Structures are given as structure tokens and as C-alpha cells.
């Protein structure tokens, strides 16, 4: 089994069952390899989580770059990005990012750097594109709105704000996207959103 295959399967396991609850024994058993073989690729669980996160974020950068390159307008771009995120949310245990933050600070820092740099640029560029296309207003500070959006994404996975027993991640993310877009769209953009809503309801 190649390292890339191992990282992909480990990612699936961690997203599905949570990071803290999965042991190296569980992982080696699922992969059908011995722990000795597993340790040829990683030194310990911290290293495994770190390498898995690096691999995951590299793929996310590729996916989001492809979406932004292929999108024809800013609002559709945000919808497509949201669909991509929801695909992950559907298979992700609510505690994954919480586990990462609490028990694996180095891997969490990778995520924070990705969010504060790469994702920041994606959202900032999306807003600039929307303004140029007349879909977003031009009377706000792009930097501030981008950072507010990114900060809200942290709230999405905070169990003290949205406990899993009362809220679904998909529902919260959908409302977050709607709140963000309706706060920045122009009249032209609002007409676009209403059209999309009517089409989805038909």
C-alpha cells in the first residue's frame, strides 16, 4: 500500500470517527498492515495526524483553485465552494476540528494558517470579483468582511455555540452562507439570489 493511499484512508477514518477515538492499532487493523509497517511512514500518531492534515489541505487548495478558475460569477463561485464544503461536512464527525484544536496543536496550526492565508485570499478575491461584476456592493471594507467570514467559520464547529445535539453542521453552514451573501450583495446580486431560491423551490 502506497503512502498516498494510507493518508487517504486515514483521513476517511479520522473524519468519520473523530481523531481522539482512533488508535494506531485501529488504523493498522483497518489498513490491513502491521503497526511496524505503519511506523515506516510515520513516527507516532501526532506525526500521522500532521501528515494527514498536510495531505488534506494540499488537496483542498487544488480543489478550491479549480473552482475559482472555472466559476463564471462570484455568487455561483460561493455556492460551488459551499457545495464542496458540505460534501466534507456530511461525512465528518462534529468533534474532528475540536479534537484537532485541543490535542494536536501543530496540526491545528496548519489549519489556521490555511484558513487565514489561502482561504482568506479565496474569499477576498471572490468579493473583488463580485464587486467588478456588479453582484456585490462596493461600500464596505473587503478585508474586514473577509475576516468576519473566516471567523464565523470557527463558530460553525464550536460545540459550545452549536452543540451537535441541537444543530446540524449542514444547516448552520447553509445559514452562514446566506447571511454572508445577503449582507454584501447589490440589488443585482439580490435578484440573482432570489432567482436561485425560486428555482430550488420549484
CA neighbours closer than 13 Å in the CB half-sphere of residue 168: 7
pLDDT in the model for residue 1: 61
CB 14 within 8 A of CB 49: yes
Residue whose C-alpha cell is 498516498: 4
Low-confidence stretches of the chain (pLDDT < 70) are: 1, 94, 199-202
136: helix, strand or coil: strand
pLDDT tens-digit profile of 58-105?
999 999 999 999 999 999 999 999 999 888 777 777 678 888 888 999
pLDDT in the model for residue 87: 85
Instruction: Give me 60's grid cell.
Output: 483542498
pLDDT tens-digit profile of 35-44?
898 898 899 9
Q: Which domains does the chain have, with CATH numbers?
A: 3-201 (1.10.357.10)
- Shortest CA distance to 152 belongs to which of 124, 136, 131, 173? 173
Q: Which pTM value belongs to this model?
A: 0.88
Amino acid at each position: 500500500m502506497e503512502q498516498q493511499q494510507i493518508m487517504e484512508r486515514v483521513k476517511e477514518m479520522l473524519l468519520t470517527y473523530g481523531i481522539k477515538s482512533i488508535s494506531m492499532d485501529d488504523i493498522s487493523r483497518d489498513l490491513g498492515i502491521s503497526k511496524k509497517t505503519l511506523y515506516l511512514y510515520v513516527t507516532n500518531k501526532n506525526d500521522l495526524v500532521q501528515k494527514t492534515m498536510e495531505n488534506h489541505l494540499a488537496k483542498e487548495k487544488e480543489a478550491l483553485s479549480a473552482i475559482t478558475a472555472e466559476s463564471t460569477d462570484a455568487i455561483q463561485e460561493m455556492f460551488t465552494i459551499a457545495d464542496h464544503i458540505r460534501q466534507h461536512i456530511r461525512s465528518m464527525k462534529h468533534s474532528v476540528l475540536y479534537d484537532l484544536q485541543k490535542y494536536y496543536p501543530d496540526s491545528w496550526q496548519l489549519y489556521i494558517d490555511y484558513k487565514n492565508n489561502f482561504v482568506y485570499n479565496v474569499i477576498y478575491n471572490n468579493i473583488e470579483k463580485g464587486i467588478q461584476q456588479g453582484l456585490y456592493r462596493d461600500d464596505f471594507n473587503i478585508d474586514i468582511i473577509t475576516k468576519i467570514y473566516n471567523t464565523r467559520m470557527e463558530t460553525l464547529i464550536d460545540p459550545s455555540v452549536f452543540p451537535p445535539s441541537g444543530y446540524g453542521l449542514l444547516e448552520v453552514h447553509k445559514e452562514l452562507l446566506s447571511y454572508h451573501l445577503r449582507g454584501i450583495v447589490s440589488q443585482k446580486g439580490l435578484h440573482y439570489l432570489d432567482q436561485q431560491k425560486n428555482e430550488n423551490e420549484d
